[in-house]
């Protein structure tokens, strides 16, 4: 037998810039396609917005707190031949959210759609059939269109030749593309509080219900028909479990190594450059916000100016408060509504400021994980929707909003909240931009305040460079953990197996 053995063919190299949820998912999928994958991350940790804040015995999920469509996480383990339950577990919540209004009205949005409809009838006096019909319509619209709008590239001709297009066209009249979400909700629901409750789903993609198209009325289907979930270990377990999976697929991570340039030549990209050197690759994925990807990493490339110039989504001001008391009347997810919702969104999107009486979201993961707070205490993730950073005086705005939030919550809960804060950290649009490189600190890239920006976001590929691809919340199909994971699926499907 000859001792001469042919040199094994090296795997082609793929580089992923950024290790947010979409970057991790893309790396895993590329490894499964036969690529040797390197991930470059400017921070010392993976996860992007899905990170943690800790201090004085309190632990907080720093970013996304609502978990839907868990199969988009577990399918990655199945793809790699692993049992998801050995690495990532979750359970369905009985109550999706607890809503509070300033006149004392409170309403629990039960996960069971029928129970939720009965609750609306009992608390608001709205016939349960109205909510049943609304959620049924949302389910039909979602089932008819999600394959096309959320799981396919809308920028490729062959997408429109698939059967899903005919199915979606048959439901075009139910998509309400020429109406706003608020108009749809007023027509279908009528009761001001119920309209406000369903208008809030526009914030799931950082938009205004008074501008975003009525097609967004399908979003409640995810929460009220398919359900909300809690992953064991908190939202950060999405990051830790996918990071572990990626490493088991031999993906290499370069933390604290910021990519400074995507190297381009003759219609292709050939790799990336960091402060430590240049790295070649046959395929490059950017999980970085699409605006800084062009402006900072490819400043000489022809940029899609119209797309990059789309108005940004809302951002957030988040207070991480360690509270030295427990509130049994609160759930994992809680919403304290403002009295003038329209004024609130006008302030965000027209005045680039924050309304005097903002809606407040309070997430308390210690309701699920007792170890997230010391005994007898709770960890409050308190968020207010704010505009993207365009140079506002955030110190002054933060001081004002903090006082207003404390006053609102203290009055509604009949407790001096300020005296209970034992730990505090803050995240504002500037720090969101610094930590996650999201342009202007916008949470969802471009706002979906018109049909074009809602569906024709930046594609998952480059028109200019044949081997450059994009994933994450700033590109199709949009922001939020589920859509970011779908962007990875769409983008990697465009890359050939090796």
Q: Mean pLDDT, to the nearest integer, of 15-30?
A: 98
Given a cut of 70, is residue 3 above it in pLDDT?
Answer: no
The H-or-E segment that residue 264 falls in is strand 259-265
Using CB atoms within 10 A of its CB, is residue 191 exposed (0-12), middle (13-18) or buried (19+)? middle
User: What are the extents of the domains in the chain?
Assistant: 13-48+234-307+457-493, 115-223
The rounded distance, in Å, linking the Cα atoms of 13 and 31 is: 10
pLDDT at 161 (0 to 100): 65
On average, the pLDDT of the chain sits at: 94
pLDDT at 153 (0 to 100): 82
More reliable by pLDDT, 14 or 147:
14
Residues near 63 by Cβ (< 8 Å), separated by ≥ 6? 48, 49, 50, 51, 235
Would you say 27 and 16 are in contact if contact means Cβ atoms under 8 Å apart? yes
pLDDT at 454 (0 to 100): 66
The two three-digit tokens of residue 157, written as one number? 């001709």
pLDDT at 274 (0 to 100): 98
pLDDT at 154 (0 to 100): 75
pLDDT at 144 (0 to 100): 84
Distances, alpha carbon 405 to alpha carbons 21, 143, 189, 235, in Å: 31, 38, 29, 24
What are 256-295's pLDDT values in tens digits?
999 999 999 889 999 999 999 999 999 999 999 999 999 9
Given a cut of 50, is residue 7 above it in pLDDT?
Answer: no
The residue written with tokens 């207010």 in the block is 384
Given a cut of 50, is residue 4 above it in pLDDT?
Answer: no
The two three-digit tokens of residue 204, written as one number? 């799931």
pLDDT at 367 (0 to 100): 98
Residues near 122 by Cβ (< 8 Å), separated by ≥ 6? none
Q: Mean pLDDT, to the nearest integer, of 333-337?
A: 98
Distances, alpha carbon 345 to alpha carbons 204, 208, 307, 314, 355, in Å: 14, 6, 23, 10, 8
| Confidence band, pLDDT 50/70/90 cuts, at residue 94 | very high
DSSP code string of 388-456: --SS--HHHHHHHHHHHHHHHHHHHHTS-GGGGEEEEEEE-HHHHHHHH--GGG-SSSB---SHHHHH-
pLDDT at 5 (0 to 100): 41
Q: Mean pLDDT, to the nearest integer, of 420-429?
A: 98
What are 101-119's pLDDT values in tens digits?
999 999 999 999 999 999 9
| Confidence band, pLDDT 50/70/90 cuts, at residue 1 | very low
The two three-digit tokens of residue 165, written as one number? 């297009």
Residues near 445 by Cβ (< 8 Å), separated by ≥ 6? 289, 290, 312, 313, 438, 439, 457, 458, 472, 473, 474, 475, 478, 479
Residues near 465 by Cβ (< 8 Å), separated by ≥ 6? 264, 267, 268, 269, 301
Would you say 280 and 292 are in contact if contact means Cβ atoms under 8 Å apart? no
Q: What is the pTM of this model?
A: 0.94
Which superfamily does CATH assign the domain made up of 13-48+234-307+457-493 to?
A: FAD/NAD(P)-binding domain (3.50.50.60)
* Cα distance between the two ends of the chain: 30
Nearest to 410 by CA among 421, 399, 396, 423: 421
């Amino acid at each position: 037998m000859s001792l001469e053995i042919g040199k094994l063919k090296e795997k082609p190299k793929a580089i992923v810039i950024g290790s947010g949820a979409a970057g991790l998912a893309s790396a895993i999928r590329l490894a499964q396609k036969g690529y040797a994958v390197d991930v470059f991350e400017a921070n010392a940790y993976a996860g992007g917005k899905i990170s943690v804040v800790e201090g004085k015995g309190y632990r907080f999920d720093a970013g996304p707190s609502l978990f839907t469509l868990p199969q988009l996480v577990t399918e990655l383990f199945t793809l790699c031949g692993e049992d998801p339950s050995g690495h990532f577990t979750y359970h369905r919540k009985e109550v999706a959210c607890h809503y509070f209004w300033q006149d004392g009205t409170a309403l629990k949005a039960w996960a069971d759609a029928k129970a939720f409809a009965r609750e609306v009838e009992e608390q608001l006096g709205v016939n349960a059939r109205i909510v049943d019909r609304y959620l049924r319509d949302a389910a039909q619209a979602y089932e008819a269109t999600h394959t096309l709008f959320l799981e396919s590239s809308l920028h490729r001709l062959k997408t429109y030749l698939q059967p899903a297009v005919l199915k979606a066209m048959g439901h075009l009249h139910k998509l309400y593309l020429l109406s706003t979400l608020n108009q749809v909700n007023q027509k279908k629901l009528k009761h001001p509080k119920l309209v406000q409750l369903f208008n809030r789903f526009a914030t799931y993609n950082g938009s205004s219900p008074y501008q975003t198209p009525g097609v967004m009325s399908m979003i409640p289907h995810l929460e009220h028909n398919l359900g909300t979930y809690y992953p064991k270990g908190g939202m950060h377990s999405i990051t830790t479990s996918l990071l572990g999976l990626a490493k088991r697929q031999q993906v290499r991570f370069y933390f604290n190594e910021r990519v400074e340039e995507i190297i381009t030549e003759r219609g292709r990209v050939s790799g990336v450059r960091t402060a430590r050197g240049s790295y070649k690759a046959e395929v490059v994925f950017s999980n970085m916000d699409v605006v800084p990807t062009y402006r900072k990493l490819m400043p000489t490339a022809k940029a899609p100016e119209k797309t990059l110039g789309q108005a940004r989504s809302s951002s957030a001001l988040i207070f991480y408060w360690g509270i030295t008391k427990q509130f049994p009347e609160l759930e994992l997810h809680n919403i304290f509504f403002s009295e003038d919702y329209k004024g609130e969104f006008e302030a965000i999107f027209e005045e680039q400021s924050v309304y005097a009486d903002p809606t407040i979201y309070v997430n308390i993961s210690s309701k699920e994980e007792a170890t997230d707070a010391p005994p007898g205490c709770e960890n409050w993730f308190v968020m207010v929707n704010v505009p993207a950073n365009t140079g506002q005086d955030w110190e002054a705005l933060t001081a004002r909003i903090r006082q207003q939030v404390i006053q609102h919550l203290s009055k509604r809960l009949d407790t001096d909240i300020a005296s209970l804060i034992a730990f505090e950290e803050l995240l504002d649009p500037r720090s969101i931009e610094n930590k996650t490189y999201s342009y202007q600190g916008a949470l969802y890239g471009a706002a979906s305040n018109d049909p074009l920006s809602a569906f024709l976001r930046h594609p998952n590929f480059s028109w200019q460079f044949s081997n450059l691809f994009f994933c994450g919340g700033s590109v199709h199909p949009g922001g939020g953990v589920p859509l970011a994971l779908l962007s990875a699926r769409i983008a990697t499907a465009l890359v050939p197996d090796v």
